[in-house]
Structure 1
Amino acid sequence: MKIIDKSIEAYSIEHSENEPKYLKALAKETWQKVLQPRMLSGAYQGRLLSLISKIVAPNSILEIGTYTGYSSLCLAEGLAKDGILHTIDVNEELVDMQEKHFKNSPYYQNIKTHLGDAQNIIPQIDAKFDLVFIDADKQNYSLYLDLVMPKLNPKAVILSDNVLWDGKVANPQINDEDTLALRAYNEKLITHSQLETVLLPIRDGLSISRLKD
């Protein structure tokens, strides 16, 4: 489902920052070698993730769902000096690709990868976060939110990807498990007493939530 007219989307991309060369190489390899390359954040959303991270200037970032590492590197662009990005993924088949492209970036020393179930790993990370990016299995989004809330620094920002789910969340006739989970998650964000949220209709939907003062 195309939410925005193609010509408007193309104009928007043309008038946005370009991705660095090391990200172009990562995107190219993902599309050539990995199943479901559409899961990649892509250049346009990647530049948005980078800009948000630069505005927040986080000392500590948590990413739930590394995939091939594209969004990790975009988020790392905004890290404060000596900041750390913790990124979690369950797919061990992608570890070598992640490692390769992290090494080819300026942020290799700032990225700590975690392999396994995010439900178990999040409580074990000894850190509090200024920025969180949730982009993993959709049915556990609400659980991940519950797990990260106690680990947020004041005024922390939470980014949630794929929250429009090809527009399915807005169609009451579609009720598969992922769609129902994302509908519930979107309601949880907008009604959460500790958060203020805006849902942006770009790509597959990106929510920006901020921990209230």
Structure 2
Amino acid sequence: MKTDSLDDYILSHISPEPDHLRRLYRRTHLRHLYPRMCSGHLQGRLLSMISAMVSPDRILELGTYTGYSALCLAEGLREGGRLHTVEIDDEMEEELTELFGSAPGGDRITLHIGDAEEIVESIDETWDLIYIDANKRRYIEYLDAVLPRLRQGGFIIADNTLWDGKVTDTETNHDAQTLALDRFNSYVASRSDLETVILPLRDGLTLIRKSERK
């Protein structure tokens, strides 16, 4: 069973949280509603490592929030690579622009403000790695929108797919977000062109690979 002491042990035995991300995490908790949406040390180091393993040239992120995950993912970009991140809340634009203008790796990030599905269609890129962490009710629509632009063998990371465990009992937990995430998980599992694994990290993290099999 996971405990606070186990969490502390894990955090003390993984790569340290970079100082600029530690400050960003604290600032998120001080200034923003729903600070739990911020990735944090463990998930951030995992995103950084996955990105480094993929060594992407182009990354797409849907759902920027305060920019923590974008900065982590950008760490793995190959030389000359770029990350495009989409945030629907226009009140975040000034803060995010300032952050990416000053934080390490922020110069490799392009910020888009607006609806994710509309912006995905407007960016003419082939993606190596995609991170989905936006409106939970639209995860299937996001997946269908990005898959044609994801290279064969490319990866998608979808956050919050266990939704605090609520997806295991949709009769009791029948709110729109839980039901949508349950449908998304079933949809991904049903597709023979996708390889997938769900990690029980925080709210659930699904790794999806666009299969190269014919």
Structure 2 distance, partners of 1:5, 1:23, is: 24
Structure 2 distance, partners of 1:205, 1:4, is: 14
Structure 2 runs not aligned, ≥5 long: none
Which amino acid letter does the alignment assign opposite residue 116 of structure 1? G
Whether the 8 Å CA contact 1:26–1:101 is kept in 2: the answer is no
SS class of match (1:85): strand
Matching of residues 26-105 of structure 1 within 5 Å? 26-105=24-103
Moved more, 94-103 or 177-186: 94-103
SS class of match (1:58): coil
Whether the 8 Å CA contact 1:163–1:207 is kept in 2: the answer is yes
Structure 1 distance, partners of 2:17, 2:129, is: 21
Q: How high is the TM-score relative to the length of structure 2?
A: 0.95
**Residue 134 of structure 2 corresponds to which residue in structure 1?**
136
Whether the 8 Å CA contact 1:87–1:112 is kept in 2: the answer is yes
SS class of match (1:67): coil
Deviations 1:117-167 (A, max 9, x none): 011110110101000000011000000000000001121010000001111
How many residues matched? 211
CA-based RMSD: 1.1
1:11 offset after TM fit, Å?
1.5
Deviations 1:53-106 (A, max 9, x none): 000000000000000100000000000101010000111111222122222222
**Structure 1 consecutive aligned stretches of length 4 or more whose deviation exceeds 6 Å:** none
Moved more, 7-16 or 127-136: 7-16
1:108 offset after TM fit, Å?
2.5
Which of the pair has the greater relative contact order for Cα pairs under 8 Å at 6+ separation?
1
SS class of match (2:111): strand
Structure 2 distance, partners of 1:99, 1:155, is: 32
Whether 1:175 aligns to 2:174 is: yes
Which amino acid letter does the alignment assign opposite residue 211 of structure 1? K
1:190 offset after TM fit, Å?
1.4
Structure 1 runs not aligned, ≥5 long: none
SS class of match (2:151): strand
Q: How high is the TM-score relative to the length of structure 1?
A: 0.96
1:7 offset after TM fit, Å?
2.4
Q: Percent identity?
A: 45
